[in-house]
Amino acid sequence: MTAPRKAKTPQGRQAKGVFNTTSSATILTDMLESIKPVLLAGKSIRLIDYPPEQRPYVVGAIAVLRDELPIRTGWQTIRESHLSQTRLRALRYSIPGEFLREVGHVV
């Protein structure tokens, strides 16, 4: 006679799409530290320039930065076809030059 088998439960598994909170927090902090100097330098940031897996973190970092900086959004046409009448546009984030001159950052 054999002993009853114990049910195996997968420990340490997460549901698909669930982020690890510690790594998500560090990724978001790293994004904040890399995006803020770019915006304060007068440059713009486009979501399409980041890999698809990093884009949610970029959007989160911009949402946090909007509390302290006047970030404007706009659309930039990347590719346009007159034959098929289509446009590829990217969402662009930037800080207005007037604010950068007030703060002392040269544009």
Residue % of the chain over a pLDDT of 90: 30
Q: Alpha-carbon distance 79 to 58, whole Å? A: 23
Q: How confident is the model at residue 63 (pLDDT cuts 50, 70, 90)?
A: very high
Compute the C-alpha angle 76/79/85, nearest 5°.
Answer: 110
Q: Residue 23: what are its φ and ψ, rounded to 5°? A: -70, -35
Q: How confident is the model at residue 61 (pLDDT cuts 50, 70, 90)?
A: very high
- What integer pLDDT is reported at residue 2 of this predicted model? 61
Mean pLDDT of 69-73: 92
Alpha helices in 1-107 (DSSP H): 21-40, 55-65, 97-103
Per-residue CA distances from 88 to 58, 79, 101 (Å): 20, 5, 32
Residue % of the chain over a pLDDT of 70: 77
44 and 94 Cβ atoms separated by less than 8 Å: yes
Q: What is the CATH number of domain 23-103?
A: 1.10.10
Compute the C-alpha angle 16/10/17, nearest 5°.
Answer: 10
Which position has the higher pLDDT, 3 or 70? 70
- What integer pLDDT is reported at residue 14 of this predicted model? 47
Q: Is the pLDDT of residue 74 over 90?
A: yes
- pTM of the model as a whole: 0.66
Domains of the chain, residue spans: 23-103
